[in-house]
Chains A and B, each alone.
Chain A
Amino acid sequence: MDYNFAFVLRYQDALLVGLKMTVLVSLASIAIGCLWGFVLGMARGSSLRWARALATVYIEFFRGTPVIVQLFWVFFCLPLLLGIELSNMASGIVALSLYMGAISAESFRAALKTISPDQHNACVALGLSRYAEIRYVLMPQAILRAIPTLLSNCVSLFKESALVSAVGMADLMFVGQNISNATARPVEVLTVVALIYFVIAFPLTRGVTVLERKVLKGLAV
């Protein structure tokens, strides 16, 4: 059998549309998930027992179940439970954000733990409000220290976003599978799709390592 990779070029517009969808879903879930993760991370380290327990159960549950099950759950169950219509794009973003929140909460918690309690005492001594303490003392340090793990979580999320194809969202994976089925040329199409993911994710992982070594060491955090 002979392979003709050039023919994939004919579908570059469709693949590009899919890639845009993949990037859009990833970025939206990363943005929402990071904010949600910071809140969860704070709750995880909080002195309120119920907040800590709730956050722990949430995090363990989302880290202990497959993302695809979470995606199906949100896709099929959330509309029934809430009685609202969710587009498959919305449910994809909701599911991935909930997951991203759980994994980034762990990075934030680890980062928050490195901030010594003396700083809290200093804030009290300076008469800072709890909000000012979080906003100006804890958050800048926690975010800076959490950046390396957060970024690798982002790369994982970019890869996990391929799962939304299973609930019928037209992302890169979905478009690729459709083209491959329509043309009966899976070898060329699927390989190209895999390469597209690789070309994006590989420099990102390398970038994370460089950032960790050079930039953050330079800031002496």
Chain B
Amino acid sequence: MTYTFDFMAVRHGLGVLFDGLLVTLELTVAANVIGLTFGFGLALLVMHRWAVLRWPASLFVEFFRCTPAIIQIVWFFYCVPMLFDVYLDAMTMGILALACNLTAFNAEAYRAAIQAVPRDYRDAGIALGLNGWQRIRYIVLPTAFRAALPVLVSNGIGIFQQTALVAIVALQDLMYMGKSLATESYRPIETFTVVALIYFAVSFPVSQLASWFEHRRDRLAR
């Protein structure tokens, strides 16, 4: 191997990469806030007794789960402005596309957790005179949220990694900055290695957190 490494080239670009990381984190947080809240609502719709509500919700979930994230993002950027005649800035579009994807995945996680809420809990809620909304708010939501937490966290990390795809539609996130830095400095190996390490440095601690949550949940369940 004759290649000589020069990580100095990347050091000069670290500021740019950091700006990119901020965009990546902003996308991740926004998508997670939307995904965590709407995911629960969508899960309730998927399990609703009215087929009118159940069918569109299931279709939404299955569609976003069974198509590549990259086509969802490209689709949003090209088709939403044409179909609905709205022109949003790139950041909002990126957040919307990622949030829809995450909402679908989280809905699945919540659904499994809601189905695991013991029947007795709801019966107890009825016996205590709680109405349907109160039963969801005070019994189903907290129990299901705790049970679904490990999956929700790993879905959140998944979307952090998927944010790299918005570089393809020219949103200036970490991946985009890395790509342009690699082209400018002619140092792809060093740049992409550093970019990969930055992604890893963020997602690894969070994934450890997810397995800690899982461990704790299983221990408490015993």
On A, residues with C-beta under 8 Å from B are: 1, 60-61, 63-70, 72-73, 76-77, 80-83, 155, 159-163, 165-166, 173, 176-177, 180, 186-187, 190-191, 193-194, 197-198, 201-202, 205
Contact = CB atoms under 8 A, between A and B. Distances in A.
B215 to A, nearest CB: 14
Nearest to B179: A72
A40 to B, nearest CB: 17
A159 B199 contact: no
Given A67-B161, A166-B168, A77 B189 contact: yes
A177 B78 CA distance: 10
Contact of A201 (B67, B193, B195): B67
Contacts of B68: 159-163, 173, 197
Interface string B58-83: 00001101111111101100110011
Interface of B: 1-3, 62-63, 65-72, 74-75, 78-79, 82-83, 157, 161-165, 167-168, 175, 178-179, 182, 188-189, 192-193, 195-196, 199-200, 203-204, 207
A55 B185 CA distance: 33
B188 A77 contact: yes
A72 B2 CA distance: 21
A137 B98 CA distance: 44
Given A67-B161, A187-B78, A201 B66 contact: yes
Nearest to B80: A187
8 shortest A-B CB distances, which residue pairs? Answer: A186-B78, A162-B68, A66-B164, A76-B188, A201-B66, A66-B161, A159-B68, A77-B189
A77 to B, nearest CB: 4
Contact of A64 (B66, B175, B195, B199): B199
Nearest to A22: B68
Contacts of A65: 161, 196, 199-200, 203
Q: Which of A65, A66, A205 has the most CB of B within 10 A?
A: A66
A176 B72 CA distance: 13
Binding site of B, secondary structure by majority: helix, strand, loop or mixed?
A: helix
A66 B83 contact: no
Contacts of A66: 161-165, 175, 199
Nearest to A160: B68
Q: Which of B1, B63, B71, B75 has the most CB of A within 10 A?
A: B71
B71 A194 contact: yes
A64 B189 contact: no
A99 B193 CA distance: 16
B69 to A, nearest CB: 7
Contact of A81 (B3, B167, B182): B3
A25 B189 CA distance: 24
Given A73-B193, A162-B71, A64 B203 contact: yes
A35 to B, nearest CB: 24
Contact of A76 (B65, B161, B189, B200): B189
Contacts of B75: 186, 190-191, 194
Contact of B2 (A73, A83, A177, A201): A83
